[in-house]
Amino acid sequence: MAKVVSVGEVMVELARGNDGRFGQSFGGDTFNTAVYLARAGIETAYATALGDDVFSAQILALAASEGLVTNAVVAVPGRVPGLYLITTDDRGERTFHYWRDSAPARVLFELEGWQAVAEKLVEAQAVYFSGITLSLYSNTGLGRFLATLEVAAERGAWRVFDGNFRPRGWQNDLPRARMVFAEALKRSSMALPTFEDEALLWGDASPEATIARITTFGVKEVVVKNGAGGALVHADGQTIAVPVEREVLPVDTTGAGDSFNAGYLAARLKGESPEAAARAGHALAGAVIMHRGAIIPRAAQEGAVSH
């Protein structure tokens, strides 16, 4: 079984190029992280549901080309993946438009065969998921996923949660989002939130406040990402600031947090210290934001990290 199972949704992406035309690719927060974990030499599986259409086939082919294990992907006949479209204004600010309400990934834990997916999760060394993952599921699906995390915990698996809060995914229902996040944190052993998201959802005044709140749920290892401000790492009862070693002017910040998480988690799985892992995360994210798109070409990534 794969060392890490990443859970969530991968969608069809349409992004407008400089010529005004749209180019098609694929993306999704936990999928991006899974790809970078696999590139770092960590055996990684992706858990989701897809359709039986040409785009689903292309997603599976992409996953295979990146070395991802796909035995936790459920095919749903007659369905198609979600779609998102990216537009960029004159200042380079990006806006996302989504068509995903009927995507099969939303019912992963309600499909026939969801138990087989759950078994893959509890057999892994680490289960990785995000706030976007949680926003996909109904209360039934959430209940089954959270119960799976409990079994994974009993078996000693790491449960790694990236807050990644997007209000639209929760229909701007902040109380429900907070409740679901709290239940997820109670079942997590590692949290990799972004301060901007935590401030939006919880009103945290500082990364230190984020760590203080999250540790009350029993999470032992917390890394708060704060963009150019670096990361605040709490592990083994100690909190240290790990700055970005080299500031760069980003070309595209898409995937920065996803790639940091992959760099951090890969280093930790290889036995490196939390501080060294944060530096690895910064290095990978620094390479990713110098290129367009969440998943950069392999050649562009080479030399960015030493792991």
pLDDT tens for each residue of 117-126: 999 999 999 9
Query: Is residue 198 one of the residues assigned to a domain?
Result: yes
Q: Is 306 inside any structural domain?
A: no
Does 204 participate in catalysis according to the annotation?
Answer: no
Q: What's the number of domains the chain is made of? A: 1
Q: pLDDT at residue 173 above 80?
A: yes
Give the domain extent around 69.
Answer: 4-301
- Token readout for 10 is 């991968």
Mean pLDDT within 82-106: 84
The span from the CA of 174 to the CA of 224, in Å, is 20
Catalytic residue, from 162, 204, 252, 258: name it: 258
Indicate which CATH number applies to the domain containing 138: 3.40.1190.20
- Please report whether residue 246 resides in a domain: yes
Is 170 part of a structural domain of the chain? yes
Distances (CA, A) of 104 to 114, 119, 139, 212, 262: 12, 19, 16, 37, 25
Residue 307 in any domain: the answer is no
The answer to the question of residue 89 being in a domain is yes
Residue 119 lies in a domain: yes
- The stretch 156-174 carries a mean pLDDT of 96
> Is residue 91 situated within a structural domain?
yes
pLDDT above 60 (res 303): no
Average pLDDT, the chain: 92
Distance CA 210, CA 138 (A): 27
Q: Is the pLDDT of residue 90 over 70?
A: no
Q: What percent of the chain has pLDDT over 70?
A: 95
pLDDT band at 224 (very low <50, low <70, confident <90, very high): very high
* Cβ 235 vs Cβ 242: under 8 Å: no
Range with the lowest mean pLDDT among 155-164, 234-243, 249-258?
A: 249-258
